Structure 1
Amino acid sequence: MKNYQITEWCHHFWREQIRPGDLCIDATMGNGKDTQVLCELTGKGGKVLAFDIQECALQATRERLRRAGVPENYELYCRSHVHMDEYAKEGSVSCIVFNLGYLPGGDHSKATRAESSIEAIEQGLRLLKKGGLMSLCIYSGGDSGYEEKDGVLAYLRTLDSQRYLVICSEYYNRPNHPPIPVLIVRL
């Protein structure tokens, strides 16, 4: 792994998990970088569902995907991630990805919150197929989400260890509240 950014760290594990034809969800599409990677990995026969509450995120993602020339295997929704269970069946999703915090370059008052993120994570865990992967990039520095970070991490500790493997890592020697990468595997 050449790049040590949190998203690249997560992408490494997605590449191990996702196969052409899979169904994947980008629960917080933002500017579409993760959506693009998911589209590339799932291929023409796959499907990517991407969610964000900001119309500007959909526009940025749509443009990114068009420029990248990815397969048209995606559906973009201007809806909260708490609605993803309306678009996929239980046990059908290979990989679900979250970037918690606010849209880079966007309105910081429109950040994810602990209550809705935990609700969406719970839904996502039901949607994952056995062996499925969920990745969380938890950003908490500055004005975004210390409460969300604490709430999500506390919730993850309660997950049944017979059903889920939760791996929480950290950039141990980085200053200024670096993001926390988390992987959850449905057993």
Structure 2
Amino acid sequence: MEDFNNVNSIIKLIAKSKLKNGDTVLDATVGNGNDILYLMKIVGENGFGYGFDIQEVAVKKTRRLLAENAYENNSEIICDGHENLKLYINKKIDFAVFNLGYLPKADHSIITRSDTTIEAIKSIMDILSKTSVIALASYVGHEGGMEEFLAVKSFVQTLDQKKYNVSIFNFLNQKNSPPKLIIIEKRK
């Protein structure tokens, strides 16, 4: 069982409670591929996974990781910005995850930006299945991180409460600017 000790463990708990075999998932910022691999293990060989990253190194690493775990035939990892996801996705999304910030152990000057992240969220809204979830882990400790979080927060606060539940998880007693987690759940 996962603990509530970081945003990734909370995302995993939510994913396990929401997803089932055969569902479709989206990792809008694949990074090292760990999140999409976790989601693919839940949705299984009957499910499908989309992944996006603007860095070729992240795309190659994720493709390799999925191939090593026999998910290369039911996933598509795309080297493009998540704001362009509607150009590639032709299925309803049951669960989407974003890790906002930079790719660990890579060029920290390449970061997600609020304008493209908000555009991606807007695009996903049109292709969400019933009771689907978007999980946004916002890393705020780097330059531009807090600004992106505040812009995304400002946008998601405007979502129609009859259509979406929006929550924020924030670790209040952790040091060093812990990431903040925004959860958007589509209502029935």
Give, in angstroms, the shift of residue 47 of structure 1: 0.6
Give, in angstroms, the shift of residue 65 of structure 1: 2.1
Amino acid at match of 1:74: S
Aligned to 2:67: 66
Aligned to 1:133: 133
Aligned to 2:36: 35
Report the 3-state secondary structure (helix = DSSP H, G, I; strand = E; otherwise coil) of the residue aligned with 1:182: strand
Amino acid at match of 2:80: R
- State how 1:104-123 maps to structure 2 within 5 Å: 104-123=104-123
Structure 1: any 5+ residue segments left out of the alignment? none
Give, in angstroms, the shift of residue 6 of structure 1: 1.2
- Tell me the alpha carbon deviations over residues 152-180 of structure 1, each in whole angstroms, 9 at most, x when there is no partner: 11111111111100011100111121100
Report the 3-state secondary structure (helix = DSSP H, G, I; strand = E; otherwise coil) of the residue aligned with 1:72: helix
Amino acid at match of 1:96: A
- Tell me the alpha carbon deviations over residues 114-171 of structure 1, each in whole angstroms, 9 at most, x when there is no partner: 1000100111122111211110100010324221111011111111111100011100
Aligned to 1:20: 21
Give, in angstroms, the shift of residue 51 of structure 1: 0.3
Report the 3-state secondary structure (helix = DSSP H, G, I; strand = E; otherwise coil) of the residue aligned with 1:169: strand
Of all paired residues, the percent bearing the same amino acid is 33
The whole-number CA distance in structure 2 between the counterparts of 1:93 and 1:75 is: 13
Report the 3-state secondary structure (helix = DSSP H, G, I; strand = E; otherwise coil) of the residue aligned with 2:170: coil
RMSD, aligned α-carbons: 1.5
The whole-number CA distance in structure 2 between the counterparts of 1:144 and 1:66 is: 34
Alignment length (residue pairs): 186
Give, in angstroms, the shift of residue 66 of structure 1: 3.1
Amino acid at match of 1:177: S
Contact between 2:101 and 2:142, CA under 8 Å: does it hold in 1?
Answer: no
The whole-number CA distance in structure 1 between the counterparts of 2:114 and 2:83 is: 12
Q: 1:54 to 1:128 in 2, by over 3 A?
A: same
Amino acid at match of 2:47: G
Q: 1:124 to 1:12 in 2, by over 3 A?
A: same
TM-score using structure 2 length: 0.93
Aligned to 1:168: 168
The whole-number CA distance in structure 2 between the counterparts of 1:173 and 1:144 is: 22
Give, in angstroms, the shift of residue 112 of structure 1: 0.3
Give, in angstroms, the shift of residue 71 of structure 1: 6.3
Amino acid at match of 2:50: L
TM-score using structure 1 length: 0.93
Contact between 1:22 and 1:46, CA under 8 Å: does it hold in 2?
Answer: yes
The whole-number CA distance in structure 2 between the counterparts of 1:181 and 1:66 is: 29
Aligned to 1:157: 157
The whole-number CA distance in structure 1 between the counterparts of 2:90 and 2:71 is: 24
